[in-house]
Amino acid sequence: MSEANAVEVLLVEDNPDDLELALRSLRKAKLANHIHVARDGAEALDFIFCEGPHSARKITDTPRVILLDLKLPKVDGLEVLRRVKGDPRTKIIPVVVLTSSKEQSDIVESYGLGVNSYIVKPVNFERFADAVANLGLYWLLLNQPPKVAK
């Protein structure tokens, strides 16, 4: 698989407004190439573990970063995080929780499960856009992922 076609960002977000704003921000930061969107936890797991509609995908084609909302239909974000970080094949994928929740328990549990970053979505759009753009920049451009045998 060519690097060009590789999914760079898996964006897991159920709220269409937040999704649109996030995509807009990523786009503005010129980070919108190869974004895959999952609208709930189950869809995200299917994509990551190449199941269901994504059975053709290879699990080794890991996204470079997963932006994960916590409050999701079907399977919630914490469960997705648990599965990703609990599987040796996927645990190296950086996961950034991007959520409205400021609940201490969510933050503690996320870090306990091995989240790489925890961002609270601000109401203020500019700050939201900045956060998304910075995230993308950091994880896509600056962060050097460990080499994985493919």
Q: Is 3 in the site for other proteins (CB under 8 A)?
A: no
Nearer to other proteins, 18 or 43 (CB): 18
The footprint of other proteins on this chain (CB under 8 A) covers a number of residues equal to: 21
Place of tokens 């079907």: 74
Contact yes or no for 2/58 (Cβ under 8 A): no
Q: Considering the complex, state which of residue 70 and residue 95 has its C-beta at the smaller distance from other proteins.
A: 70
Shortest CB 76 distance to other proteins, Å: 11
User: From residue 61 to residue 90, what is the string marking binding to other proteins with x (rule CB under 8 A)?
Assistant: ---------xx-------------------
29-39: b or e for each residue (b if 16 or more CB lie within 10 Å)? bebeebbbbbb
Pairing label, strands 9-12, 35-38: parallel
Minimum CB distance to other proteins smaller for 111 or for 125: 125
Rounded to 10 degrees, what is the CA torsion of 77, 134, 141, 98?
0
Distance of CA 24 to the CA centre of its chain: 16
Nearest Cα residue to 120 out of 128, 112, 108: 128
Identity of the residue, 11 or 93, whose beta carbon is nearer to other proteins in the bound complex: 11
Q: Taking contact as CB under 8 A, which single stretch among the options 3-11, 32-40, 80-88, 120-128 is the one that binds other proteins?
A: 120-128
Q: Which residues bind other proteins (CB under 8 A)?
A: 15, 17-18, 21, 24, 70-71, 99-104, 121-126, 128-129
